[in-house]
């Protein structure tokens, strides 16, 4: 089986690592890939959003299955293009991908079908948005409607901050067209978790629960990033709570999409807040979480390829996911200055010392291979991942591995999984 993976980050390296273990795989391609991915797959010099070129490549190389990593090509309709050419591809159509590419679309769908979420309003006129914010007050959340690489949410604690956020998104256009429309919503209070499911539109199989750390600094301080680390499973999410989330949020959402004549196939990722009134949807993504999947895949017992195949063919009802016991922690190593301006081309030292280390993996994100060396080549550079029988052991093992790596300007959070360390581990997931 020839498989093409689209993308270049830590999520894609984790997927390539898992796919490479399948006896069903003959050749693995990754477009465009990164320095670490090049050790496991053939790198293809085509951008992730160059949809037509990717389709031509898939045809030329007799690719049996294409797996899409990031949200950009999904929003551009890569699945529609491939399917029109008779090419098998894993991911939602352009219409289904609006669950992530338009926060307004997703929120309006939730409201229409009475799926739990916070109060909100949608605006394409900055003056109307300002009037609304003055009326409802702060704290409040201001979100760009479109794709912003995980950085389009601004939590405003004061009225002044809220008005400033509207200006940044709608007047200054810091996220360009993504901020032409905004969603203003209530600030939900509780603990945030990620619920990622595989679905063929009818059946949904939840992956292990996980928790991202979006803020740059320890203690959830500083600006939002694409994610500074994650762990799985989440102790606070019991088997009963997972069942509740599936019954009250995931299945109703998939049914709502069918009612709108949209069949959702692929990955549906719900970012939830566990509030005093129960779980509520913050937002949806339509692909594997990054860095959440880096902390989930190492605990997946079985071959990933048959699961993806069953989704594409609409036969997921015959499948199930099996998990190893224990916990997994992912710590992201970033370039100094990220998520703002940062330097690239810094030599990464210490990776060789971690090769073959028990229960430790390093997934590359923003790296470039230069002969025998690896250079930093992005904001988030590496993902250091460790598994152990409990969360304490996984955290210890991960940070011991982090201590072996160095590059100029390297920065990382030192408190990944801090919420889990304060709680007893749930006996069931």
Q: Are 314 and 200 in contact (CB under 8 A)?
A: yes
Looking at the predicted structure, is the pLDDT value of residue 428 above 80?
no
Condensed to tens digits (0 to 9), the pLDDT of residues 63-109 reads 999 999 999 999 999 999 999 999 999 999 999 999 999 999 999 99
Instruction: Give the CATH fold of the 2-93 domain.
Output: Rossmann fold (3.40.50)
Q: Are 119 and 186 in contact (CB under 8 A)?
A: yes
- Containing H/E element for 360? strand 360-364
| Class of residue 21 by CB neighbours under 10 A (exposed 0-12, middle 13-18, buried 19+) | exposed
* Six token digits for residue 275: 């509030």
Q: What is the pLDDT of residue 224?
A: 86
Condensed to tens digits (0 to 9), the pLDDT of residues 357-401 reads 999 999 999 999 999 999 999 999 999 999 999 999 999 999 999
- Containing H/E element for 150? none
Residues of the chain with CATH 3.30.470.20: 191-421
Q: How many CB atoms lie within 10 A of CB 23?
A: 8
* Six token digits for residue 98: 């609006």
Looking at the predicted structure, is the pLDDT value of residue 426 above 50?
no
Residues of the chain with CATH 3.40.50.20: 2-93
Closest of 428, 106, 112 to residue 268, by C-alpha: 106
Q: Are 270 and 331 in contact (CB under 8 A)?
A: no
Residues of the chain with CATH 3.30.1490.20: 125-180
- When pLDDT is cut at 50, 70 and 90, the band that residue 423 belongs to is low
Portion of the chain with pLDDT greater than 70, in percent: 98
Superfamily of domain 191-421: ATP-grasp fold, B domain (3.30.470.20)
Looking at the predicted structure, is the pLDDT value of residue 422 above 90?
no
Identify any residues that bridge with 6 across adjacent strands, giving them in sequence order. 31, 68
* pTM score, whole prediction: 0.94
The chain-wide mean pLDDT, for the chain, equals: 95
Looking at the predicted structure, is the pLDDT value of residue 425 above 80?
no
Q: Are 11 and 69 in contact (CB under 8 A)?
A: yes
Per CATH, the architecture of 125-180 is what?
2-Layer Sandwich (3.30)
Condensed to tens digits (0 to 9), the pLDDT of residues 264-304 reads 999 999 999 999 999 999 999 999 999 999 999 999 999 99
């Amino acid at each position: 089986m020839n498989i093409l993976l689209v993308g270049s980050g830590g999520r894609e390296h984790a997927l390539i690592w898992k796919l490479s273990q399948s006896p069903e795989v003959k050749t693995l391609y990754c477009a465009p890939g990164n320095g670490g991915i090049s050790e496991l797959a053939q790198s293809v010099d085509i951008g992730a959003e160059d949809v037509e070129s990717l389709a031509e490549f898939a045809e030329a190389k007799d690719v049996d299955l294409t797996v899409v990593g990031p949200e950009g090509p999904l929003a551009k309709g890569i699945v529609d293009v491939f399917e029109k050419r008779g090419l098998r591809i894993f991911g939602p159509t352009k219409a289904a991908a609006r669950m992530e590419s338009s926060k307004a679309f997703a929120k309006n769908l939730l409201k229409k079908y009475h799926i739990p979420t916070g109060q909100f309003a949608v605006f394409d006129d900055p003056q109307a948005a300002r009037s609304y914010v003055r009326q409802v007050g702060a704290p409040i959340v201001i979100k760009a409607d479109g794709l912003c690489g995980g950085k389009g949410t601004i939590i405003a604690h004061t009225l002044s901050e809220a008005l400033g956020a509207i200006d940044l998104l709608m007047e200054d256009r810091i996220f360009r067209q993504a901020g032409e429309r905004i969603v203003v919503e209530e600030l939900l209070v509780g603990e945030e978790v990620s619920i990622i499911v595989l679905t063929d539109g009818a059946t949904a199989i939840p992956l292990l629960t996980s928790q991202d750390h979006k803020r740059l600094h320890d203690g959830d301080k500083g600006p939002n990033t694409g994610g500074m680390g994650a762990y799985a499973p989440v102790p606070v999410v019991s088997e009963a709570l997972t069942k509740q989330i599936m019954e009250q949020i995931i299945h109703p959402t998939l049914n709502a999409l069918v009612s709108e004549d949209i069949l959702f196939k692929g990955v549906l990722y719900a970012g939830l807040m566990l509030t005093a009134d129960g779980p509520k949807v913050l937002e949806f993504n339509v692909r594997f979480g990054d860095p959440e999947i880096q902390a989930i895949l190492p605990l997946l017992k079985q071959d990933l390829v048959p699961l993806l195949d069953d989704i594409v063919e609409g036969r997921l009802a015959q499948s199930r996911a099996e998990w190893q016991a224990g916990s997994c922690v992912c710590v992201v190593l970033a370039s100094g200055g990220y998520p703002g301006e940062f330097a690239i081309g810094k030599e990464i030292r210490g990776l060789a010392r971690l090769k073959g280390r028990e229960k430790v993996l390093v997934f590359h994100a923003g790296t470039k291979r230069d002969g025998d060396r690896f250079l930093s080549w992005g904001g988030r550079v590496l993902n250091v991942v460790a598994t152990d029988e409990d969360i304490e052991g996984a955290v210890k093992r991960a940070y011991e591995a982090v201590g072996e790596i160095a590059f100029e300007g390297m920065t990382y959070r030192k408190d990944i999984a801090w919420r889990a360390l304060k709680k007893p581990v749930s006996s069931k997931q």
